[in-house]
Structure 1
Amino acid sequence: MSVPPRVGIVGGSIAGCAAAHVLRELDCAVTVFERNPDELRDRNYGIGIPELVRAELDAAGLVDPRLPAMLYTERVWLVRDGDRGRELWRQPFRARYHNWSLLWRALRARVDGADYRVGTQVTGVESAPGEARVVTSDGQRHPFDLVIGADGYRSVVRAVVDPAARPVYAGYGLWRGSYPIDRVADLVDRLGPVDRSFATIVLPHGHCLFVLVPDATAEHRMTWGLYYRIPGMPADPAPAELAVRRVDDELLTFLDAVVDRHFPAAYAEIIRRTERDELMVQPVFDLLAGRLVAGRVLLMGDAGAVTRPHSGAGATKALQEALALGRAWAGHQDADLDAALAEYERGRGPVARSLVELGRRIGAAQVEHTPDWPSMTPAGFTTWMDELNQHSAYSRPTPPPETAPH
């Protein structure tokens, strides 16, 4: 192309900002459309990124090497028994846990100076030979050589690539809380070395993770995530019903009963010290588009595939997709953009499918059909995990580049 290739990116979250940075480095003229008029709100929960992936991101200039992260080297599985619980298994692994908000801010800083349009509502995308057009709510049509849909699970871009793809509810949710660590300073001695190992409390048809992540204003944040059913959820909810929601009085009463019945005292107290506006619940679901590319339209991040949070691969998948597109583009820059898009599809399509399947397997084993946790031994845990991951290196001592335990 004699002029810089024009790329329109719908969605300015992690996937969109990563793609914008990578393609600007390849001299593309990038425009980002972000519908949220206040940019993106803080999301202070943790994201696990394997060390190999973090090194790849640093080398590619996607994040500042100084971006803070907590290095964890083991995961401790506990069952309710006394104040701290009874240890069932101490599982070795290595991953760095980041604060979602700090990671997004670092990526957003990488695209300062780009045409980043905040508060712009995209209503559709039109595909045409050799180009695609972004349609905005004011009726304008913006032509590009490539349009990237990085607009999440309710993507408007996906309708051009795979209109039949839809989210499928898993039958349970991820309950979350996050707040500054000083609120539970009196509990830290009771919990053990929370800066080296993160705890997993197991219960029938669920489990809950506790992990520290860096914070912008305090030293660390205590974050927790409970995988458990959501009362009142329909079996086949509409896509809008799968959005993150605040915890109302009815849900809070339900959560309190679960914590009271199944959690060791110290960990129950961590959850109870979460303030109401810090509580939320996300219905867990799968989504997998049949393809990631159609013409000059490409899907990235949750727009193309949503894997259950167990796989710890959501943000990692989006970041690696941006890097993969950059490599494909650079390799075909003097030849054919369509060849680069075909390479992206060949490389990332199978990864998306395998990660969705991985999330389903973990959900089935750790939520839907849990073992008799109290009877599990370290040897039994090892066998159980090996069987769960017979086609994946998930949760072994050094996770593969694609995933980190979550």
Structure 2
Amino acid sequence: MAVKVETPVLKVAIVGGGPGGLATAVALRAVPGLEVTLYERAEVLREVGAGISIPPNSWNVLDLLGVDSLTSGHPTTAVLNMNGKTGEELHRVETGSLSSRKPIRTQRTALQAALLAHVPKDSIQLGKKVLGLDNLGPSGVRLTFADGSTTVAGLVVGADGIRSVVRDSVWPEYPLSFTGTTIWRVLLPVDAIKDLDPRFMTTGWWHGPTTHVYFSLVGEGMWEIAARAWQDPKIHGSSKVSWGTPVENEVVEANFTEYLPQVREALHRVPKGHWREFAAFAGPNLATLTGWNNRVVLVGDSSHALSGAFGSGAGFAMEDGWVLAQALASTNNDLSKALPLFDKIRVPYYTRMYAHLDNEAKRRALHLSQLLEPSDEERVRNKVIKIEGTDMKWIYANDIGKVWRESVAVVA
């Protein structure tokens, strides 16, 4: 009589409850033999920020995850680039048909709610700030929390953002630095600003030489402002934190005094206490996203500390989680096979992104160096991203399901 040998359950700890962590939890639910727990440092699971972009690549992975409840948002089929001082239209993008789903800008909380609907509440532990990890070898990885508790998991998924504790535990020498870009974000009722300029109803960037203000509807009667300015890292770097610091209105408005009156008025109408500051940090490309003998894997911003996320950071993170789940399922949760397969698919993708951002920065710098004493108008034109002639479908129309099938076919 044959004896049935049961495969031991693999305990998986996901660190971080953002889109990447939640999407990973959703994807792993479909993989047999896993016991998944998501640990989030906040006492209440809520998104910090304002809007978030859902381009076709994000729709693709949401469909694969079975997440179909994201219904609110503003179609971003037209995007403007304006000179913020003169009001001149510099560039307009009319989005073609990359997929059957229109790109949208929606509230971060809407995406969070759609993902949360597919994650059992008892698999999420809140108020669990991870202080660090310890490599226990074949026994797994120990996570130590700020409340003094510990747990051991066979696999740890670092979905804890650009200043990742998981990444720092495994790659302690990883250099992370303030890029000089500071972003201030807020949501307003559209009724509060719709009298100012009809162009504000179209998603767009209003540029200065070293600043810009991004306006977009995000659905449900709300309107988003994301204002950016460059600040010298040598002066401001030591005082910056990465996410959601309250800031006074005067601090934000002082960076945009040369803008059109209606742009400045839109900033001025933000109620006091509503602005949040987000400092952009970046670090170098990692050669591998897995560590400690395939016991730790990074997803989302923790895996690629880019200086820009192409407006698709949530999509990248969700793709990571879905690919990880497929790799585990296809190898019967054999970490020695699954994690190298994840690396094989995702590392080249992020390497290509780093190269693209580097090439764009060099192109702009070269063009600017060829101008003799460039005017503000010339500097603004130089920084506007124009995608004509640059095929960005590898990002915005990425079909991660197709990528997976082709990658598995090559391995086979």
TM-score, normalised relative to structure 2:
0.80
Q: Which moves more between the two structures, 97-106 or 121-130?
A: 121-130
Contact 1:332 1:339 in 2 (8 A): yes
Correspondent of 1:107 among 89, 108, 115: 115
Residue 407 of structure 2 aligns with which residue? none
Please show how residues 175-324 of structure 1 align to structure 2 within 5 Å.
175-187=184-196, 190-192=197-199, 194=201, 197-214=202-219, 219-230=220-231, 234-235=234-235, 237-238=237-238, 241-248=241-248, 252-261=249-258, 263-288=259-284, 289-294=286-291, 295=293, 296-309=295-308, 311-324=310-323
- 1:365 positional shift: 7.0
Residue 132 of structure 2 aligns with which residue? 124
Distance 1:198 1:373 in 2: 23
Residue 398 of structure 2 aligns with which residue? 401
Residue 31 of structure 1 aligns with which residue? 37
Residue 374 of structure 1 aligns with which residue? 377
Distance 2:129 2:117 in 1: 22
Equivalent pairs, count? 379
Contact 1:201 1:207 in 2 (8 A): yes
* Paired AA for residue 167 in structure 1: L
Name the CA shift for 1:301/1:369 in 2 (closer, same or farther; >3 Å): farther
Contact 2:163 2:242 in 1 (8 A): no
Spell out, residue by residue over 1:249-286, the C-alpha distance to the aligned partner (whole angstroms, 9 max, x if none). Answer: xxx4453343231x222222211111222212222221
- 1:324 positional shift: 1.0
Are 2:162 and 1:153 aligned? yes
Residue 371 of structure 2 aligns with which residue? none
- 1:307 positional shift: 2.3
Name the CA shift for 1:46/1:368 in 2 (closer, same or farther; >3 Å): farther
Distance 1:12 1:77 in 2: 33
SS state of the match for residue 152, structure 1?
Answer: coil
SS state of the match for residue 56, structure 1?
Answer: helix
Gaps of 5+ in 2: 1-5, 97-102, 369-373, 401-412
Please show how residues 66-145 of structure 1 align to structure 2 within 5 Å.
66-80=70-84, 85-93=87-95, 95-130=103-138, 131-145=140-154
SS state of the match for residue 275, structure 1?
Answer: coil
Contact 1:178 1:221 in 2 (8 A): yes
- 1:221 positional shift: 1.5
Contact 1:88 1:376 in 2 (8 A): no
Name the CA shift for 1:5/1:364 in 2 (closer, same or farther; >3 Å): same
- 1:179 positional shift: 1.2
* Paired AA for residue 349 in structure 2: V
Residue 347 of structure 2 aligns with which residue? 349
* Paired AA for residue 86 in structure 1: E
Distance 1:207 1:268 in 2: 12
SS state of the match for residue 217, structure 2?
Answer: strand
Contact 2:57 2:399 in 1 (8 A): no
Distance 1:44 1:159 in 2: 24
- 1:4 positional shift: 2.8
Gaps of 5+ in 1: none
- 1:290 positional shift: 4.3
* Paired AA for residue 56 in structure 1: V
Spell out, residue by residue over 1:165-216, the C-alpha distance to the aligned partner (whole angstroms, 9 max, x if none). Answer: 13222122112222111212323xx32472xx312111112222111112xx
- 1:369 positional shift: 8.6
Contact 1:153 1:306 in 2 (8 A): yes
Distance 1:45 1:55 in 2: 23
Distance 2:189 2:49 in 1: 10
Contact 2:200 2:216 in 1 (8 A): no
Distance 1:367 1:381 in 2: 9
Spell out, residue by residue over 1:300-323, the C-alpha distance to the aligned partner (whole angstroms, 9 max, x if none). Answer: 112222223451132111111001
Distance 2:312 2:83 in 1: 26
Contact 2:50 2:224 in 1 (8 A): yes
Distance 2:312 2:306 in 1: 7
Distance 1:186 1:38 in 2: 36
Contact 2:301 2:313 in 1 (8 A): yes
Are 2:208 and 1:166 aligned? no
Correspondent of 1:46 among 43, 51, 54: 51
Contact 2:40 2:128 in 1 (8 A): yes
* Paired AA for residue 353 in structure 1: T
Name the CA shift for 1:115/1:364 in 2 (closer, same or farther; >3 Å): same
- 1:147 positional shift: 0.9
Contact 1:132 1:145 in 2 (8 A): yes
Identity %: 24
